[in-house]
Structure 1
Amino acid sequence: MDYLVGVSTIIYTAIDAAGNAKTCSFTVTVKDVTPPTLVCPPAQTLCKVPNNTYTIPPMIQSDNCAIVSTTYVITGVTSRSGSGTNASGLFNQGVSTIKWTVKDSHGNTSTCTTTVTVVATSNPICNAAPLVEIKENPKYTEPEVPGLSITAWPNPTVNYFNLKVNSPVKETVVIRMYDMAGKLVQAKSGAPGDTYIFGEHAASGMYVIEVTQGAKKQMVKLVKLN
């Protein structure tokens, strides 16, 4: 038998062959102790814009009963608060943390957080070529800068990236791998035409490969999976 949240009274009546009846009763109390389920958006890395206003994916919430309040507080380089699942709006340059708190009708609460990092437009991630549609294990060649091109595969990968730099000149190429916060993760240098391995020790996420040869520069975005 299923019981709703709250107190239910169960009454039993027994009648014998002579018609004598006897009753007894007891109560069943069902409490809701299940907190709301929250799915916060993934960490966001954004390039600075003049008005410092950004769109953040909304938090997703659900509960087995009714949700009565959803609030958020933003700390770090940005200080503001609000209600609802959407915390889009003002974010200052640097790292901010959004903390959502959700309460259901029986007092159960859940929290989750998302980090928002706003970087300067000079950051390598703000100047990389757009990420192309990802298919299973493609070999992706970045649109060519005259005299310099990059071929990277597989993309995405769960292990490492193979990277080949093509150039008609023999001048040394310098290859740098940055995370989405602009931190240098890995760097190598060598001859064009060789194949280099990158990202074998990198965590899952999006990365930018920057290749320079003299005054020429080329960039590509890559994705590392779990």
Structure 2
Amino acid sequence: MAPDLHHTDHHHPDLHRRGLMFILSSPSGTGKTTIAKRLLAEDDAISPSISATTRPPRPGEVDGVDYFFVSQSEFDRMAENDEFYEWAEVFGNCYGTPKAHIRAGLKTGRDFLFDIDWQGTQQLYQKDAQDVVRVFLLPPSIEELHRRLSGRGTDAPEVVAARMDRARAEISHWDGYDYVVVNEDLDECFDQIKLILASERLRRKRQTGLIPFVRGLLRTRV
């Protein structure tokens, strides 16, 4: 029977677990966004990481839910004080992952999902390797990736070609990840992602309540 992901964190109440930072990276067209949304919808122990940004809010966006909206001067101050796990400038706006929000959640056993590229992954891993799990998604073939990227039929051939070049560049960094999963079948790929997350949650180093729990077992006399 398949596990119920709404209750995946079946831990004994005495077995406190430290959370983890679960990174999903892939070239565009590999299904990462679909898998990430499904994981967040079906697993209540993992939350999306929320970035700080200097970009103004779009209609309907909520501060602290979609992003932490900050001024450029505030963002610069945070970067100067090393308050980000990773940050980058994209099309004139800055985006970064605040440490304080993530670290507070990790201590309570909360997991965070990151949808970032290989450069952001490197920054995050260098700052906090012990809490990071890196997963890279690959397409089943270059031909299939091209079909997916050009499937909408709305982009000019040169646009599709540029996306393919970017995809190849991203794929070249596959060996900087802990796990590599080929997304040929979406459901099968999603199941593999769930297995990775479940096994990483059970790593002894994250079971911070094991020592007192085992000591209690050894003290018990029947």
- Whether these two folds match at TM > 0.5 is no
Between Structure 1 and Structure 2, which shows a larger proportion of helix residues?
2
Q: Which has the larger radius of gyration?
A: 1
TM-score normalised to structure 2 length = 0.22
Q: Relative contact order (alpha carbons < 8 A, sep ≥ 6): 1 or 2 greater?
A: 2
TM-score normalised to structure 1 length = 0.22
Between Structure 1 and Structure 2, which shows a larger proportion of strand residues?
1
